Every structure is written in structure tokens, then in C-alpha cells.
Amino acid sequence: MITETNSPENNKPAKKTIFSGVQPSGNLTIGNYLGAIKNWTVLQDEYNCIYCVVDMHAITVRQVPADLRRRTYETLALYIAAGLDPKSNILFVQSHVPAHAVLSWDLGCFTMYGELGRMTQFKDKSRKNADNINAGLFTYPVLMAADILLYQTDLVPVGIDQRQHLELARDIAIRFNNLYSPTFTVPEGYIPETGMKIMSLADPTKKMSKSDSNPNASVGILDSRDVIISKMRRAVTDSGSEVRYGEGKDGINNLINIYCCFTGKTREETEKEFEGKGYGEFKAAVGETVADGLSSLREEYSKLIGDKQYLDEIMRSGAEKAAAIARKTITKVHRKIGYVSL
């Protein structure tokens, strides 16, 4: 687990606060599940948890409107199906709480051009979307900082790819606190060792991504049992045969990590279990394990996704609760900046 130091408390409830989110920009993968959502469910009793479907982030890349709307519902249903209780957690959609955009503007004036230019995700996405390098793609980390800082967040459970953005959010918070007076909690990252970077099944040197155009590169959380098993069987591995974690064995390392995340076993235990067995047998076992591990989530999801009225209610009440917390931070920030309050 990688954590970073936190700042002194300021106006905080007794339980610490968690904030995290997923973009509804594609079919969610087991990377999103193992790097983020699965850990959210583990943390929900200990913390005040706020989980957001970050639709405003998704439009930094062109989206088909009907698909974005459908995926926003799907992502919310998936949060609940994964085990997040909408009664004890705040689940909401980012665009329903305008304070995110408001704070994003304010914080943008405390973020340097050079800092944003150094973001590796900006460079990657600019390369992939060369015909649409819009300002939102550039200022995206500021919106993410606003998401986190609005709720005086202590802990942000994410995969390793979000670490640089999280560090920027910390820098912005510290800068603002030093310029004025303590205003924002400085958040820590919660990055799981084994699930922090699940790799593509087609090219295990690349991160598994929901926006990958190759359907065999990723396993969707909602893929059917047969599809999961067949994708795992076809996962690219090296020419060896020993199930052992090691350098130059990105494909096998990735499958071992996935297996460990779903079974709770260590790498050593996994290696021992598959001693003398070949890659074929191991891949089949990983497929079965992942399919079993996701089967109750899939069942729960299929019950929820048809009930739009229920999902609307969750969105509405989540947005109200989130907006009430966000308002306090916005009021404080605006007073400190020098805006006139009416």
C-alpha cells in the first residue's frame, strides 16, 4: 500500500472521508474493479465514503451523448452491485453538483501551466486524440483536484495511473493553505500493491484500459462467464511454461496478480499451487476464478439496471448530500479569495 502524509485536521467529522470516482467513458474493466471499486467496498464501514460517476471528466474525449447517458446509469448500478450501500455511502453523478466546476475554476488560478504540461496522462491522451487536444483535456487534473478537495477528503483509493494527478491535488491544496490559511485537507492516496496496475491481456506492457479498441485486451466486469474464460485463455504470455513471477514475464506476472486479487492468495502461494502445471492450466484457472469472483456482482447488476427510477432516486439524494458538503468548502474558499458574499 502506498500512502503519503496528511495535513492537520480542519472542521472534520469524526470518521475520515474517502472520495473516488470512475469515468463513464467505456465498459468498466477488471482493472477498474481491482485498482479501485473492490477496495472501496472494503473501506466503506470505516470511512465516510463519497463515490462519484465523473461524467464531466469523460467529455474531455468525444462521447456519443446516448452512450454517455447509458454508461452513467451503468456505472452507478455497478457501484451498487459491487457492494456499495447507497444508504451508508454518498453515490452521485459529478455534473449534478455544479460546485465541482466552480471550485475547478478557482483552483485553476492556483495551478501552473507547467505543472499541467508535465502530466503523463495529458501527453498520452493528446497523442491518442491528436485532432481534439481541447483545454478540458489539459485542465482535467484541476477538476480532479476540485472533486477531491471539495469534500475535505482524507483518502483517495485509486490505481497507480492516478498517482500523479493526486500528487498535483496535494500540491494545490498545500499552496492554497499556505497562501491563505488552512482550508483544505491534504489527501493521501490509497493504492493497492497487487491490483494497482492490471495490464492489457493483448499487450501486457500496457495498462488495461476501458477505452482500448481491441476487445481481447481487457476483461469487462460485466463480461459473461464464457467470454472471461476465453479471453484469459488467449492472454498473451511469454514462451516459457513455469508459473513464476519474474522479470520479462509481464503476461504471467499480470495473470498472477489478477489471480491473487481474486483469491486473496500471495504470489508465492500461487506459484506453489501451480508448480509443475503449465500456462494452459493456469490460464484456465484464472478464467474460472475471475468468472466466479464476478458472478454475484453480475447477477445483482442485472436486477438493478432495469430499475431506472431507483437509480434516479439514488442520484438525486446523493447529489443533494454531496452538494451540502461541497457548499461549505465553496463558502470558505470564496471568503478567503475575496469574493463578495450575499
The nearest distance, CB 170 to ligand TYM, in angstroms, is 12
Specify the residue, 207 or 283, whose C-beta has the smaller distance to ligand TYM. Answer: 207
| Residue 130, Cβ density class (10 Å: 0-12 exposed, 13-18 middle, ≥19 buried) | exposed
The rounded distance, in Å, linking the Cα atoms of 61 and 57 is 8
- The reply to whether 125 belongs to the active site is yes
The nearest distance, CB 191 to ligand TYM, in angstroms, is 8
| Catalytic residue (one of 16, 38, 210, 283) | 210
Residues that bind ligand TYM (CB under 6 A): 19-23, 31-32, 34-36, 54, 57, 144, 147-148, 156, 158-159, 161-162, 165, 195-198, 207-208
| Catalytic residue (one of 38, 125, 231, 249) | 125
**Rama region for 83: left / alpha / beta (φ>0; ψ in -120 to 50; rest):** left
- Cα dihedral value 88, 93, 97, 103, nearest 10: 100
Specify the residue, 23 or 177, whose C-beta has the smaller distance to ligand TYM. Answer: 23
Specify the residue, 16 or 57, whose C-beta has the smaller distance to ligand TYM. Answer: 57
- The reply to whether 210 belongs to the active site is yes
Backbone angles phi, psi at 97, to 5 degrees: -125, 95
The contacts of residue 320 (CB under 8 Å, 6+ apart) are none
The nearest distance, CB 207 to ligand TYM, in angstroms, is 4
Residue least distant from ligand TYM (Cβ) = 35
The nearest distance, CB 219 to ligand TYM, in angstroms, is 11
Backbone angles phi, psi at 119, to 5 degrees: -70, 125
- Cα dihedral value 274, 278, 280, 281, nearest 10: -30
In angstroms, the Cα distances linking 335 to 60, 103, 106 are: 30, 13, 12
In angstroms, the Cα distances linking 289 to 159, 293, 340 are: 22, 6, 58
| Catalytic residue (one of 16, 38, 207, 283) | 207
- The reply to whether 328 belongs to the active site is no
The nearest distance, CB 156 to ligand TYM, in angstroms, is 5
Specify the residue, 50 or 304, whose C-beta has the smaller distance to ligand TYM. Answer: 50
Specify the residue, 84 or 196, whose C-beta has the smaller distance to ligand TYM. Answer: 196
Supply the residues annotated as catalytic: 125, 207, 210
